[in-house]
Amino acid sequence: MVIALAMMCILTGASAPGASASHVTVESSSMVVSVDQPSGVMFTDAVNLSGTSTQPLRNTSWTIVNISGSTPITVLSGPYLTSVVPLADGVYRWTLLVDLQGVDCTCYVELSTIDEQHRPFSVHHVVYVGDDHQRPVLGVDNPQSYNTPHLSGEPFMLQPSTTVELKLIQPSLDSTNISVFGQLCEAPFEVCLGPPFSVSIPHRLNNQSLYLDLDANQLALNEGIWRLTVHVTDELLRSSHRISLPLVHDTTPPETSLNVPVLVQEGEVFLVFAEVDDGYEGSISTLTWFVVDNEGVTRSPTVAERLSEHQLSLNLTRAGTYTLELTVRDHAGNTARVSQQVMVENLKPIARISVDGLTVAPSNTVKLGPGDNWSLSGTMSQDNEPIEYLWVINEATSIRGVPSLTQTDFSGTGLHTVELIVFDDDGATDAQVIEVMILKPPQEEVAGTSPLAMTVLGLLILVALAALPFIKRQRPTESDLPRWQPSAKADAMFAASRAGFDATVEEDEP
């Protein structure tokens, strides 16, 4: 819990160089807390701190942490301050009195509360308690540095020389006899690539501020990311803990090039790659892209077009000459700018007329009907972008904006000339002409040919009537009938049956 609280990014203000340390003030956007005692104040058996605040500091907890050793240890903690007294509107005086009899340490006191915006707010104050286990405290204006072996965050830039200010709190406030020890190693990923080497660092001490004068040439540094580990000792050879400072030595802009196709088709997706080399491992660069069209309009790539910081996927739907511009800024602020032109060529559309999915060859004649369940379609026309349709029927009627024609678009049956014209947004066009024969329905064919049909039918009837007598007069000839050969047995039977039979027809008596 103590380590988590110590990680809060609340700055502890230091006295201005040349002035005696009298109090410490901590501010946020809506809250100000001051401590009357200077950092590094000495206490014997109890910690007694006081100060003012712009808020009443209700539910403000306190913690005393021992940082004499390499590991911070909580000594005491409590939920409330000793007292909070209002002095005026928006001004409150607070006190904290904690009995630490028998404790000897280099400690810091942390006050933790919540401001009006319900955000965590902390105050850290270094104190010395007792007579033993006291040592210098080295860091920056951040309580994290009091118990953390290295400092994270933004590195210090060497351009080519830089002065780094560290906060130095000592048991003897008037002590000026200190020694600074430093070790350097190249650490692009927060891990040393090789063994550290010792360096001599020029320094200046002013009150509680230690100034380190870092010169890349004197330190014999190549361009790259380095780690400087620093600790100090006082005249009694009491040593502070070690802190590590990230350093960046970079004085040249990154080498940058673009990989872009020179010529692409309109509506064709193409990739753009940026190659950036800053000359050392771990370099961080910020890339800013711009797309400029042939009318001079500049825009940034959309989220969908940005595959990564170094790669774009573009689909330019209008023909013309475009310019891709890239600005690269490295971690040290050096910038490089490159640009590349790409020609976007318009693809001419191709007109195609189809019927029921079958493409009609130009100048061919298509017979359609009878019936109205057919259509002439232009959707099989080819282009890499949306196209517009214009139909011309018999060079007299034009229909625009529809992809197909039906029977209702024609004046009637018969032969018609149909032309399809397609054009894109750049004005490129193509056309196809065919002939369409619309057949008549069956009922129209019977009604239209009834006189001729009746004449033919009458002639057929007359021919049939004229041929009927000849058909009736025809009889079968003897050769046409079957011939029977009676047998002797049949004759005898016939004679017996006819015996006594009188074939004379008798008439009835009157």
H/E element, 342: strand 335-345
Share of the chain above pLDDT 70, in %: 80
CA–CA distance, 139 with 230 (Å, rounded to integer): 10
Answer yes or no: are the C-beta atoms of 125 and 35 closer than 8 Å.
Answer: yes
pLDDT digits (tens, 9 = 90+) for 218-229: 898 999 999 999
Least confident of 28-32, 257-261, 345-349: 28-32
Residue 447 has pLDDT above 70, yes or no: no
Residue found by looking up tokens 């019936």 in the block: 371
pLDDT band for 451, please (50, 70, 90 cuts). low
DSSP states along 42-67: EESSEEEEEEEESS--TT-EEEEEE-
pLDDT of 290 > 90? The answer is yes
419 vs 363: CA distance, rounded Å: 10
pLDDT of amino acid 340: 95
* Phi, psi angles (nearest 5°) of residue 346: -75, 140
Distance, CA of 41 to CA of 48 (rounded, Å): 10
- 24-32 long-range contacts (CB < 8 A, ≥24 apart) are 24/123, 24/125, 26/121, 26/122, 26/123, 28/115, 28/119, 28/121, 29/115, 29/117, 30/54, 30/115, 30/116, 30/117, 31/55, 31/115, 31/116, 31/121
pLDDT bucket at 24, cuts 50 / 70 / 90:
low
- For the four alpha carbons of 204, 208, 209 and 212, in that order, the dihedral sign comes to positive
Among candidate residues 362, 358, 364, the one with its CA nearest the CA of residue 431: 362
pLDDT in tens, 90-110: 899 999 999 999 999 999 999
Is the per-residue pLDDT at 184 higher than 80?
yes
pLDDT digits 0-9 by tens, 150-182: 455 678 888 778 899 999 999 876 667 889 999
How much is the pLDDT for 6?
33
**Stretch 453-466: mean pLDDT:** 74
Average pLDDT, the chain: 81
Q: What is the reported pLDDT for 448?
A: 47
What three-state secondary structure class fits 444? Answer: helix
- The pair of structure tokens assigned to 77 is 């903690």
If you average pLDDT over residues 476-498, what whole number do you get?
Answer: 44
Burial class (CB in 10 A: 0-12, 13-18, 19+), 124: buried
Mean local confidence (pLDDT), 341-350: 90
pLDDT of 115 reads 83
Q: Which of 206-215, 334-343, 349-358, 495-504 has the largest mean confidence?
A: 334-343
Work out the pLDDT band at 482, boundaries 50, 70, 90.
very low
More confident of the two residues 258 and 448: 258
The 10s digit of each residue's pLDDT in 486-495 is: 444 444 444 4
Asked whether residue 374 carries a pLDDT value surpassing 90, the answer given is no
Q: How confident is the model at residue 277 (pLDDT cuts 50, 70, 90)?
A: very high
DSSP per-residue codes, 237-305: --BPPPEEEEEEE--SPPEEEEE--SEEETT-EEEEEEEEE-SSTT--EEEEEEEE-TT--EEPPPTTT
Percent of the chain with pLDDT over 90: 46
pLDDT, residue 484, reads: 36
pLDDT score at 200: 92
For residue 474, pLDDT over 70 is answered with no
* Helix, coil or strand: residue 196: coil
Task: Compute the average pLDDT of residues 389-405.
Answer: 91
pLDDT value at residue 27:
66
State whether the Cα torsion 403-407-409-415 is positive or negative. positive
Residue 207: what pLDDT?
81
